Amino acid sequence: MTVPVTTPRLVVINSTATTKDEVIRELAERLVSEGRVTDIDAYLADVAKREEVMATGIQGGIGIPHARSACVTAPSVAVATSENGVPFGAPDGPAHLIFLIAAPMGADDSHLQILAAIARRVMRDEFRDALRTATDPAVIADTMTKEVQQ
């Protein structure tokens, strides 16, 4: 059986982070605690390198920081909701939904498939609203697994 990309323990409801570095670290810590990332500092450095290339905030209050990294053990998505929002460089303002994609190094393009699936889904109001208003991490994890995992 395939490992789900998101589990309830990879979800943060109403993060209090105020910067993208804070929310990325908060989500990366979840990935480490679940054994999906083996070295938080190396992973955070890979995400930071990717963030320098181009902002990962997109229209609709979405942040999708992501990176391929040698310290990622399985394709994963950690998710945070934020009532106040976190600046991710999107032209329409801060992100209220943040998806941290962790992808292992190698030839597999699973992270691109996950990124594309999230980008398609977040264009739908009902998908964004369902995640934003969820108060149970299991609901978000279940929605992500159903909608994003191939």
Q: What is the 3-state secondary structure (H, E, C) of 6-65?
A: CCHHHEECCCCCCCHHHHHHHHHHHHHHCCCECCHHHHHHHHHHHHHHCCCEECCCEECC
Give the catalytic positions in this structure.
66
Show me where the domains of the chain are located: 8-148
pLDDT recorded at residue 3: 80
pLDDT recorded at residue 1: 46
pLDDT recorded at residue 107: 54
State pLDDT tens for residues 105-115: 875 677 778 88
Question: What CATH number belongs to 8-148?
Answer: 3.40.930.10
Structure tokens that stand for 38 in this block: 């083996």
Identify the bridge partners of residue 68 per DSSP, sorted by sequence position.
Answer: 103
Residues of the chain with pLDDT under 70: 1, 107-108, 150
